[in-house]
Structure 1
Amino acid sequence: MKLIQGNPGKRKIDKKQASPDALLDVPAPPEWFGEIAAAAWQQVAPWLIEAKILTSTDLHNLEAFCMAYQRWREAQDDITKNGIIVMGAKQKIKNPACTVANETMRQMATFGSALGLDPAARSRLKPGGNQKPNNPFTALRGGKAG
């Protein structure tokens, strides 16, 4: 994780420690996904592969993100169709889909952040593992990385 997310403490990284390799091919979405979750997978997974962010150990985060997105879309459709206020057993109440929409929005933020799908998380990620940036000023510093 330090190689991907950075090493702000600058502690020595144990190179013997097992580290997952970034996936090279986009895996198929799980068979149990609904249409909306599968479409989200097909949209997000290729970018994560290209950015060398997605590893086999991250697939559960991607699954959770896509399912939260599907539930959020379904809740939003219900809110659009039935409104924010619906008739309960005896009186008007807040549409329960509003609660689902809010909860799944938080889940998308959590899982999306873990995958680097928001600007703040993306700035912390250093995709590609051990690659050193090509810095033209390295030679001026005696070949030492800064």
Structure 2
Amino acid sequence: MGGLASVPGRGRKPDPRKSKSKNINVPEFSNITDIEPPDYMDGLEFAPMIWRSIVPELLENELLKITDMHNVEVFCMAYETYRKCQSEIAFSGVTLNTEAGSVIKNPALTALNEAARQMATFGSLLGLDPSSRQRLTGAGNKEQKNPFSGVLNM
């Protein structure tokens, strides 16, 4: 079929970081040297603690820009919820008895699961897990040689 692409669908959009001719229009956002947790976190127990744990690490590795701060906030608030749900489940158990006498799943399990998903999503955006850290920093992207390049095709 002449004129049709061999693979259906739209082609990939080129990544300016990987192309030989670098895109000079890639935006540069402001660096952060140090930033304290927002005031609304003052009354919370775990969010400021995790903020003070991860932000210095991200700053030291130059992975944090001013435009990333909302991701840090959501991650920290999800961590707060996660820890509170863990405490609730440890105190009440995974099931609860209702007034009618039936047994139901503790609603804290659902909130715990959602908080864990938010932490995974926003943690990945910040490079807090090994695979996303490699993606963000480019570590391990060395030229890999094909072990079969010297083998003749027959």
Measured against the shorter chain, the TM-score band is: 0.7 to 0.9
Q: Is the 8 A contact 2:16 2:23 kept in 1?
A: no
Structure 1 residue aligned with 2:31: 22
Q: CA deviation at 1:12?
A: 3.3
Q: If the length of structure 1 is used for normalisation, what is the TM-score?
A: 0.76
Flag structure 2 segments of 5+ consecutive residues without an equivalent: 1-14, 139-154
Aligned residue for 1:31?
Answer: 39
- Judged with a 3 Å threshold, the aligned counterparts in structure 2 of structure 1 residues 13 and 76 are, in CA distance, closer, same or farther, namely same
- The answer to whether the 8 A contact 2:17-2:23 is kept is no
**Paired residues, what number?**
121
Spell out structure 1 runs of 4+ moving beyond 6 A: none
| Bigger Rg, which one | 2
Query: Which whole-Å deviations, capped at 9, do the CAs of 1:103-145 have from their partners, x for residues lacking one?
Result: 0000000000000000000011128xxxxxxxxxxxxxxxxxx
Identity of aligned residues (%): 39
Which residue does 1:83 correspond to in 2? 93
User: Higher relative contact order at CA 8 Å, sep ≥6: structure 1 or structure 2?
Assistant: 1
Residue number among 80, 100, 124 corresponding to 1:113 in the alignment: 124
Q: 1:49 aligns with which of 44, 59, 62?
A: 59
Deviates more, 1:113-122 or 1:85-94: 85-94
Gaps of 5+ in 1: 128-146
Relative to the length of structure 2, the TM-score reads 0.73
SS at match of 1:125: helix
Q: Distance in 2 between matches of 1:47 and 1:82?
A: 35
